[in-house]
Amino acid sequence: MALDLTAPWQGPHGGVPPFDRVDVAALRPALERAIAEQDAEVIRIAADPAAPTFENTLEALERAGAALRRATTLFEIWSGSLATPEVQAIERELAPRLAAAQDRIVQSAPLFRRIEAVYRSPESAQWSPERRRLAWLQYTEFVRAGARLDDAGKQRLSQINQQLAELFARFSQNLLADETDLCVEVASEADLAGLPAPERAAAAAAATARGHAGHWVIANTRSAILPFLTYADRRDLRERAWRMFVDRGDSGGSTDTNALITEILARRAERATLLGYPTHAHWRLEPTMAKTPERALELLLAVWKPAVERVREEVRDMQEIAGGVTIEPWDYRYYAEKVRLARYDLDHNRVKPYLQLDSLRDGLFWVADRLFGLTFTPAPSIPVYHPEVKTWEVRDRAGKHVGLWYFDPYARPGKRSGAWMSSYRSQERLDGAVTPLVSNNSNFIKPDPGQPALISWDDARTLLHEFGHALHGLLSDVTYRTLSGTNVALDFVEFPSQLLEHWMGTPQFLERFARHHETGEPMPAELVRKLERAATFNSGFATVELVSSALVDMKLHLAGGEAIDPRAFEKRTLDELGMPRELVMRHRTPQFGHIFSGDGYSAGYYSYLWSDVLNADAWQAFQEAGGAYDAAVAARLLRTVLAAGNTVDPAEAYRAFRGREPRVDALMKKRGFA
């Protein structure tokens, strides 16, 4: 008998996803059944003859849709990490239907009347702060989602949301196709001159996997392309690899995303107008810390000028080494590495042997223990969806079960690029303790059997970043699922993750976990000092990459009903900003998955910089106290931020942690612009 993918999860720790028993053919009918079940649950809540109360309305909504959440968790893992053509076909078909199901909830007039009655109830004065927060959030989100529209407006809004869901799926699949199918193939090892041995081995393995044993393949993913651009001596091959990577989604062929982007922007603009907002950006930023596009732009532009000036300095330094070669975008990383070597005597190929993935993963656990009292124990009996995925049980200082952590580290066909955290189940205690299930997902190049996975310094920082998101989910301590963990404002969610990156460079961490993969010796003190001295090296490049992406994102979504040609708009905007010609946006518009594979970060890429203000200021709190491992500051961070989820306004949460507002000067100092 086929497994019911909507059924409550069985097994230890309140049940775990049956990843090892999923039949792809069962995904579609499971989602269809779960949508119908959620519809029925919501209708029952809306039609309840009893007067609306917090319990029979808001808490009832918290319980509704459990079967759909379970089925969607499985579906999203397969579409994001195991995306076969069969799965992609299901995604294209079901994405609009899932969007329509959500619209049926927020557009239910009887349900909204009940929510509004509860929200405005005079009894709310006696509620706990968490109850008041949930009532405010539910009411506000229903209004923002169109609950007050007339029937015609609701119908059109639902059509738009369904169209967008389909467009998002097509965008993601086009981008994945370019990342999976395109590559640079090299027939002679001599053409890989300059490329370190681990990257050569990875390229050879990639070629073998494609049926071209004896050749080398540079895959069209960030983890393969960036080392090639940094070290490969063949300038023509660097240019070829660079163009392949930055032109993802911009080929003019069947995977081109430009027409999809034009349509996405048009539908978003129409939706914003329908909901009563000037632009999509105004609608998206209303519930954030920034509140308005103008405030977000103010921060972006304040950082833009010093970052561009720093890029000009960096280019001058590179040009001295490059001689008669005019620095082009495919040269930037290559010559920046040579400047780093000349100025700081810092060769990252000397750093990498000390950064073994398994050891760094153990370092994550050690930091979580030192700061928050968490221990991680392997849990090999927990089902996983791929043999490369491993699982750990998490416990607190008292030995109490906290949750499960899944780790999916390696790139493979059908897995979207980048690094991310997922929440398979959120912490809550409405009907008893429900513990969280979270995952971290990366795209490191898998080493040959018996060889260690060695990663770069930047990749190691990213590892800590994503683990920061995981800790945010694991350490949640709230009653209601909707307010749990990382379910916070967009420009606050990146704060804990960015903050955790700092522990990578602490002497205590490096001494224990940055050890040579062959000798076991710790990273030499001299090499550590070089890393510290070079901490802000190339900060102009990194900042301009990020801020240019954020500015283009914001301006695209401030354009309102303007018909947008993505290529022309990107070029015009960057020209007006004075974008240095020697580099490109971190995410060019045709491949900007953050903003076009869903609404999540749309008009919100600025949040990485906004959160970095909080991050830099919060790190100073540790430095002003007893240092990186100060127990009192860590306990305050846990209580006011990580455990609190969305039970308080994020600005209040930060003030409770820091005792004051964040200061931008900390960011400028962190990036070397002070």
Residues annotated catalytic, as ranges: 466
Question: The tokens of 624 are what?
Answer: 């002003």
* Nearest of 647, 639, 656, 652 to residue 478 by alpha carbon: 647
* Nearest of 342, 320, 334 to residue 530 by alpha carbon: 342
Cα 79-220-182 angle, rounded to 5 deg:
90
Residue 464 vs residues 357, 567, 658: alpha-carbon distances, Å: 11, 35, 22
Which string of b and e fits 284-312 if b means at least 16 CB within 10 Å?
Answer: bbeebbbeebebbbebbebbbebbbebbe
For the chain, helix (H) and strand (E) counts, in that order, are 27, 7
* Nearest of 488, 390, 486 to residue 440 by alpha carbon: 390
State which amino acid sits at residue 470. Answer: A
Q: How far is CA 455 from the centre of its chain?
A: 19
Question: The tokens of 325 are what?
Answer: 């070669």
* Nearest of 283, 85, 319, 284 to residue 181 by alpha carbon: 85
Q: How many CA atoms lie within 13 A of 570 on its CB side?
A: 20
Instruction: Tell me the β-bridge partners of 356.
Output: 454
Please list, in sequence order, all residues whose beta carbon lies within 8 angstroms of the beta carbon of residue 523, skipping any fewer than 6 positions away.
Answer: 351, 354, 510, 514, 515, 516
What are the backbone angles phi and psi of residue 439, rounded to the nearest 5°?
-135, 155
Q: What are the helix (H) ranges across 353-456?
A: 357-372
Instruction: Tell me the β-bridge partners of 421.
Output: 440
Cα 573-275-294 angle, rounded to 5 deg:
40
Question: The tokens of 383 are what?
Answer: 């089902």
Please list, in sequence order, all residues whose beta carbon lies within 8 angstroms of the beta carbon of residue 215, skipping any fewer than 6 positions away.
Answer: 185, 186, 187, 204, 207
Burial class (CB in 10 A: 0-12, 13-18, 19+), 97: middle
Q: Which residue has the tokens 């869903």?
A: 598
Torsion angle, CA of 26/32/33/37, rounded to 10 degrees?
150
What are the backbone angles phi and psi of residue 411, rounded to the nearest 5°?
-70, 150
Whether 405 contacts 378, CB under 8 Å: no
Residue 484 gets which letter from DSSP?
A: S
Whether 164 contacts 267, CB under 8 Å: yes
* Nearest of 370, 293, 349, 351 to residue 560 by alpha carbon: 293
The dihedral sign for the CA sequence 88, 90, 92, 95: negative
Q: What is the DSSP string of 184-251?
A: EEES-GGGGTT--HHHHHHHHHHHHHTT-TTSEEEESSHHHHHHHHHH---HHHHHHHHHHHHTTT-S
Q: What is the chain's percent helix, strand, coil content, to nearest 5?
A: 60, 5, 30
DSSP-derived pairing of the beta strands 390-395 and 401-410: antiparallel
